[in-house]
Amino acid sequence: MTKSEVAMLGRQSSLTPALGKRKTPPERNAARSRLLIAVLTPLILLSITLAVTIGPVEIAPLTVWEIAFGKVTGAEGDWSNAQANIVWLIRFPRVLLAGVVGAGLAVIGVVMQAVTRNPLADPFLLGISSGAALGAVSVLLIGVFAELGIFALSVGAFLGAMLAFALVFSLAIQHGRLLPTRMILAGVAVSFMFSAVTSFITISDDSSGAARRVLFWMLGGLSGTQWEDLTLPALALILGIVHLMGQSRALNALIIGDETATTLGIDVHRLRRRMLVITSLLTGLVIAVSGAIGFVGLMMPHTVRLLVGTDHRRVLPISLLAGALYLIWVDVIARTLFAPEEIPVGIITSLCGAPFFLWLMRRSKGAL
């Protein structure tokens, strides 16, 4: 079977019923994908600029990039120290981290839906976020992996995410087949179990700020972001998307079915294990800096598939851009709607994502 046939099969995947029955010609999907990338890329740059300007202290868009250029090159300009500190130390890293987190969660959702062949799969619904949060809280309150220093939080969140997904994955397999309904049920059960353990650790801690720190992981937020918070998740996202783009045809075959993928020479079990490690790593690193932000990995992939079809060569990069754009503006709303008080980002994504989830359940009856 040729590569073009594999791509064609990807457009006829088990995820298609969740998106309705209307089919779009491949040529139109390709043209749409090029147009979306051409539009989303400058739109993200514009959004970063506007998001940095928005806040109690108004700063002109041109000043934002003048300060950024000055900080990178050492040049001086006509701006105050207060403006420089607000832009470079407070707003810029936060906005960029929102983009990285949104992009990461969207990519994770794409891969998980392909690996599980379940249109409802995402890190939040399958308990991976709860596992990562448990790992992070264990580091914060118990001091696990304290010898790793600044990497302790990321390692703890990664191991918690990987443990949760491995447990859900093993529970969802019956007679050698991965059952979508069992995957969701197992994810709900594991999520409750890990949340219960997290709550037990919290109430067992004597420090007064324990509950507040745990609440951060449960609801998600980007306040207090520093430049060093960007390094690991951004690096993991870059390496992850490069590898996943190379596996896009294999993912196309995988969502058709294990038998089809096997006939194409794909080691299905090995591919799933590798995708498990990658998604767990990305989830752990993202949640380590943002907390458990739900539904981004569910909404963005399906929104993109509605526009460009199910070929992962298009879905992966466009979902990355769409996720980044979405969470940048969600974070802007979170910090400005009731200023000076902030709303946890996870509350807003859940308010948007829950109705989308219900709609998706109605559209994907045949796939569940």
Q: Please state the domain extents for the chain.
A: 99-361
Helical (H) or strand (E) element with 275 = helix 268-290
pLDDT at 5 over 90: no
What number of helices (H) and strands (E) belong to the chain?
16, 2
Torsions phi, psi for 178 (to 5 deg) = -90, 115
Q: How far is CA 328 from the centre of its chain?
A: 13
**Domain 99-361: what homologous superfamily?**
ABC transporter involved in vitamin B12 uptake, BtuC (1.10.3470.10)
Q: For residue 6, what pLDDT band results from cuts at 50, 70 and 90?
A: very low
pLDDT at 24 over 70: no
pLDDT at 145 over 60: yes
Torsions phi, psi for 174 (to 5 deg) = -135, 125
pLDDT digits (tens, 9 = 90+) for 270-320: 888 888 788 888 888 888 888 888 899 999 999 999 899 889 999 999 999
- The DSSP string of 30-56 is HHHHHHHHHHHHHHHHHHHHHHHH-SS
pLDDT at 87 over 90: yes
Q: Which two tokens stand for residue 117?
A: 């062949």
Write down the pLDDT at residue 66: 92
Write down the pLDDT at residue 14: 52
State the chain's mean pLDDT as an integer: 85
Q: For residue 210, what pLDDT band results from cuts at 50, 70 and 90?
A: low
Write down the pLDDT at residue 208: 64
Token pair 């420089």: residue: 84
pLDDT at 368 over 60: no
pLDDT at 172 over 50: yes
Instruction: Give the CA angle between residues 116, 165, 150 to the nearest 5°.
Output: 135
Write down the pLDDT at residue 109: 94
